[in-house]
Structure 1
Amino acid sequence: MLADIKAVAFDIDGTLYPSLSLYWRLVPYIIRHFRFYLHYNKVRKIMHRTAPLPDFYEYQARLLASELGCSSKRARAMIKLIAYDGLKKYFSKIKSFKNVLETFKTLHEKGYKIALLSDFPPEQKNEIWGVIPYCDLILGTEKIGALKPSKYPFGIMAMALDLKPEQILYVGNSIKFDVLGANNAGMKSALIVSPFKKIFSKKIKVADISFSNYRQFLNIVIQS
């Protein structure tokens, strides 16, 4: 099933690190910026359904400006300050899932191309837990013009890797955005789930593979 895979691409948030590690640290921050996030989350839901845009950031700012009753320039500055730059310091305190770095290093040594494709700016995560040297490509969907699950950013990634979509395995933690987005773009998909969910839930049929730790994931890919 994975014999033809020549590249492995990863989501970042909730895929390379546990989401809860970030969420509990952000509680005071979210409370402090509650009004912003109340409206910003509404805007992001719309952006996830929006077709590719020539200027993603401007359209996002206009939507938020309408919600907040301010200028788009002001809304754009708030997004940068609160949603992008304001979160950087929190990622420096978060550890990746166990064996993430080992997984990237081994895939690189085995000759796979490696990519990151994230809905939020990859540079927001600072050094991304040391995986950057092993990556052939790092993309943010916002700069491309469309968020997942649009197949557009997946297609751009495939073109940049100079591979056919079916030669790429995309790894994420969301069925709706990562798995279905990759599947619709013609890629193979892998879903990371908690060990508890892995044991007690039914087989996840929409993803080509599911796993609960990166040692397990690496064994599946290498042995395919």
Structure 2
Amino acid sequence: MSNSPIKVIAFDVFGTLAKITEKTSPYKKLIHWLHQQGHTAHVNDAVTVMSIHGDFEDIAAHFGYHIPAPLLTELNADLEFELKQIQLFDDTLSTLQQLKTQGYTIVLCSNSAHPYGIYISTLIPIVDLYAWSYEVHACKPDPKIYQYVIDQIHCKPEEVLFIGDTPLADVEGPRHFGMTARLINRKKGQQLTEILADLL
């Protein structure tokens, strides 16, 4: 570990450590169905969905609806397909392992529905803390999710470096909370080693 004050490195997941090669977007389909049933569309609908620790039926029940069996079968099939499309970027595991070897605490902090968190946990087991939106019941850039990281790791905001691909959730939010943050652009081929060059 360098002389940097950084002791904890928190990573966003999708678009940062992993990608979905072919999307079926079952949760978007669920939200669309809810709107068709009469639920008034709200800008925070997706946030609400990712903040619920449960399955499709639990989410629908939260909004006051019951999913018909054919749609539930379709949603579950879409979800199973999409989970199989998740791939880690080539440098993900090697970089995380190098950081762990150097003494950094590794955190994954993601706005994700429950099945994605479970699946990612099997792909990336070398992590000290998973801060999933459905467990915290808050989505980035809500300060609650950054506070959860601080509380669980027992560190100070200034000791955390946040890495992600979304400016608001992964850079502006963490910085406003007192963390250091850096943006990665995987679409332009950026590697984790470029973003973390001074720490590796």
- TM range, smaller chain: 0.7 to 0.9
Q: Which residue, 164, 175, 179 being the options, matches 1:183?
A: 175
Secondary structure in structure 2 of the residue aligned to 1:111: coil
Give the one of 160, 169, 193 matched to 2:152. 160
Q: 1:115 to 1:62 in 2, by over 3 A?
A: same
Distance verdict in 2 for CA 1:183–1:104, change over 3 Å: same
Partner of 2:116: 124
Q: Kindly tell me: are residues 153 and 216 of structure 1, through their superposed partners in 2, closer, same or farther at Cα, counting changes over 3 Å?
A: same
What is the deviation of 1:179?
1.0
Larger helix proportion, structure 1 or 2? 1
Q: Is the 8 A contact 2:162 2:171 kept in 1?
A: yes
Q: For residues 31 and 16 of structure 1, do their structure 2 counterparts lie closer, same or farther at Cα, with a shift above 3 Å needed?
A: closer
CA distance in 2: counterparts of 1:63 and 1:94, whole angstroms: 28
Q: Specify whether residues 63 and 187 from structure 1 end up closer, same or farther in structure 2 by C-alpha distance, changes over 3 A only.
A: farther
1:117 Cα offset (Å): 1.1
> Measured at CA, do residues 145 and 32 of structure 1 come closer, stay the same or move farther in structure 2, by a change above 3 Å?
closer
- TM-score (normalizing by structure 1): 0.66
* Residues 122 and 57 of structure 1: CA distance in aligned 2, closer, same or farther (over 3 Å): closer
The question of whether the paired residues in 1 share the 8 Å contact of 2:11 and 2:107 is answered with yes
Cα deviation, residue 110, structure 1 = 0.3
Q: Number of matched residues?
A: 188
What percent of counterpart residues are identical? 21
Residues 41-74 of structure 1, C-alpha deviations (whole Å, 9 max, x = no match): x54x325788xxxxx539x958973xxxxxx252
Aligned match of 2:127 in 130, 135, 138?
Answer: 135
**Consecutive unaligned residues in structure 2, runs of 5 or more:** none
What residue number does 1:208 align with?
A: none
1:57–1:187 CA distance, 2 compared to 1 (3 A): same
Displacement of 1:131 after TM fit?
A: 2.1
Does residue 9 of the first structure (1) align with residue 36 of the second (2)? no
CA contact (8 A) 1:48 1:148 kept: no
Structure 1's 187 and 135: CA in aligned 2 closer, same or farther, altered over 3 A? same
Please tell me the residue identity of whatever aligns with 1:216: E
Structure 1 regions of 5+ residues with no counterpart? 51-55, 66-71, 199-211
RMSD, aligned CA: 4.0
Structure 2 partner of 1:149: 141
Q: Is contact 2:164-2:184 (8 Å) kept?
A: yes
Q: 1:97 to 1:122 in 2, by over 3 A?
A: farther
Q: TM-score, normalised by structure 2?
A: 0.73
* Other structure's SS at 2:183 match: strand
- Residue 111 (structure 1) shift: 0.4
> Residues of 2 paired with 1:147 and 1:30: CA distance?
15
Tell me, in whole angstroms, the C-alpha distance in 2 between the residues paired with 1:94 and 1:138: 18
